[in-house]
Amino acid sequence: MSIIHLGIDLGTSHTSVTTSTGARFTCITCVGYAKDVIAKKRFGTDIVFGQQALDNKLALDIVWPLADGIISNDGNAATHAILEHVINTIVDQQQGDQLFAAIGVPAQASIQNKQAILAATKGLVDKVIIVSEPFAVAYSIDRFDECLIVDIGAGTTDLCRMHGSIPNAEDQCTLTYAGNFLDDSMKEAILDQFPDVQLSNKIIRDIKEKHAYAGENSDQILVMLNQKGIPKEYDLTDIMRTSCLQLIQPITQAIGEMIASFDPDFQHILRHNIIIAGGGSRLKGIDVAVSKCLVAYGGGNATCVSDSEFCGSVGALKMSQEMPEEYWEQI
């Protein structure tokens, strides 16, 4: 019998897993349920996951179990299903093997939904630790000294102050200004200016991932969109600039407030050690934009993690391997 340790980053948009056997896997955190008997016949199953679900959304009922950063009322079964899917995909479990998992979740979920998350792991792992995603990021990069982790996900942006010990509730802050908010802002602005354009969530995400930026200036952004089925080129430069500012401003404001409420003897250290993680760390110029906001506080420095996709799960894995017995929940 052996113990397999898992680090799971259960995010609003993506779920990533890293194991003690050296395996890695990531999956979009959505579940598709077959709408009818024809859909079930097509897929050979009642349920599909991730990109396959999105690619076949017309035949499926799609559930995003952590759409708002916490497990939704109808998301308990879907959360269990997505965890079962990623674990079964990546773990070659032999008879007698035990699975110990540390699961990083959005900060609000770790506070409000701990019991729901524990229930979602029932029958899948033997022991579990629930931690906030920004703390898992800090663990990944061995930053336990004074720093501020800013984890920009899809549903939430989580901030977590590190100070050499386990952070408490006062050290953590959750905002709803995140990737999905940017998507909604872009969509609303585009339709306001070009009401006949045909948009989907995928189209908006593709535009964001290719063109979104956090700076003041950008090259012209020209995008092909359909107007009543007819492709046409649209200039989205100003729309992108305004939408991204609507995302950046509340995040930088929250960073300033987290610094201002920290021990004054250590504020200068904190503002020079801002670490940006999550999918939002891929936003072009986000580190420069955050650094600029620190000028009002006497200057500072922000950097982005090198591996936004697996940083959280790597940190969770390290916690799974190192945490003492008293931190574990027996399932």
- Write the pLDDT tens digit of every residue in 242-277: 999 899 999 999 999 999 999 999 999 999 999 999
Give one word for 297, left, alpha or beta, with left for phi > 0 and alpha for psi -120 to 50: alpha
CA distances from 171 to 176, 204, 242 (A): 17, 33, 30
Residue 92 has pLDDT above 60, yes or no: yes
Task: Decide if pLDDT at 73 tops 70.
Answer: no
Looking at the domain that runs over 3-29+64-132+310-330, which CATH code has it been given?
Answer: 3.30.420.40
According to CATH, the topology of domain 142-304 is Nucleotidyltransferase; domain 5 (3.30.420)
Confidence class of residue 155 from pLDDT cuts 50, 70 and 90?
A: confident
Q: What integer pLDDT is reported at residue 124 of this predicted model? A: 93
Contact 92, 58 (CB under 8 A): no
Instruction: Enumerate the CATH 3.30.420.40 domain ranges in the chain, comma separated.
Output: 3-29+64-132+310-330, 142-304
Q: Using DSSP bridges, classify how beta strands 31-34 and 157-162 pair: parallel, antiparallel or unpaired.
A: unpaired
Residue 224 has pLDDT above 60, yes or no: yes
Given a cut of 60, whether residue 70 has pLDDT beyond it is: yes
3-state helix, strand and coil shares in percent for the chain, rounded to the nearest 5: 45, 25, 30
Q: What's the pLDDT tens digit per position in 158-174?
A: 999 999 888 888 898 88
Closest CA to 68 of 136, 143, 130, 155: 155
Which tokens hold the place of 323?
A: 């945490």
